[in-house]
Chains A and B, each alone.
Chain A
Amino acid sequence: MIPAPAFLSNPERFMAFSRWAAPMFGLIAAILGLAGLYLGFSAPDDYQQGATVRIMFIHVPAAWLSMFVYGCLAVASLLSLIFRHALADAAAQAAAPLGAGFTFLALVTGSLWGRPMWGTWWVWDARLTSVLVLFLFYLAYIALRAALDDEAKAARACAILALVGAVNLPVVHYSVVWWNSLHQGASVFRADGPAMPPVFLIPLLLMSLAYMAAFGALWLVSIRGEVWRRRAEAAALRAARS
């Protein structure tokens, strides 16, 4: 049996797989998202946060995805750097704008949740600042990619940048443990189990899976687009030579 990464490392197999997998992930995202939204808006107000607890159902999945996507970007970059594999580089390149989108959502929805709960839009505390740094790493990756014309040089430089930025991931995750922070600590992934009732936990998990499936669909489509772009550029080069 061929392991999944090796199976998908062949561009033809990847294109055949992603052709049906991308719409399937999109459909799963739509179904889970609708179920999560319905349960989220049906949930009662929180005894402390009131109705603003509903922002949690879109803020927390966006925050988790901002880190997960960067993890995907870092792994794809590492594979690209070690094996010089074009599809791994395409996967890294395709992940960056999506990760930037999720991180932007985490920052904005967090700010809109923080204003009524904390009394401020923004504080320079460890969690918020480290997520802002994560967002800047995404933007730096996109900018560096756009600045370099040589595909091989761009792949190498961006892979190194992505791996440097990966150091920030544990800082984001443990920032609320290592430093005093206005941001609350972990309330789902805890050693003693989730610290929230099922009426909030279930819609949160549904929305998180919906975000994950949406990312899966968009990532696959985006990698397909990148494969087509490289094919088009190769064909244009052949046409110019002949």
Chain B
Amino acid sequence: MTHLDILHVGKYATFIGAAYGISVMVFAGMVWTTLAKARRWRKRAQALDAALTGR
């Protein structure tokens, strides 16, 4: 079996492609929102801490 053969999924390609495509998008969304939220609050907390200790 070649690498191209494994992508041959016949008449159900639409359903399989949609299922994998949506899964990739949802995973990407979860990773992006989780990392962005954590980064945003870390920066905010560090900035406030720095401002408080600098007084």
Contact = CB atoms under 8 A, between A and B. Distances in A.
Tell me whether A and B are bound partners: yes
Interface in B33-53: 33-35, 37-42, 44-45, 48-49, 51-52
A218 to B, nearest CB: 5
A233 B41 CA distance: 9
Contacts of B35: 221
A109 B23 contact: yes
Interface in A46-62: 50-52, 54-55, 58-59, 62
Interface string A222-242: 101110110110011011001
Interface of B: 1, 6-7, 9-13, 15-16, 18-20, 22-23, 26-27, 29-31, 33-35, 37-42, 44-45, 48-49, 51-52, 55
Nearest to A219: B34
Nearest to B7: A41
Contact of B51 (A105, A214, A239): A239
A109 B25 CA distance: 13
A166 B13 CA distance: 37
Given A58-B20, A239-B51, A218 B31 contact: yes
B16 A51 contact: yes
Nearest to B6: A41
Given A41-B6, A108-B22, A214-B27, A232 B48 contact: yes
Contact of A239 (B6, B18, B38, B48): B48
Contact of B23 (A97, A98, A105): A105
Contacts of A229: 37, 41, 44-45
A225 B41 contact: yes
A163 interface: no
Contacts of B18: 112
A228 B52 contact: no
B22 A231 contact: no
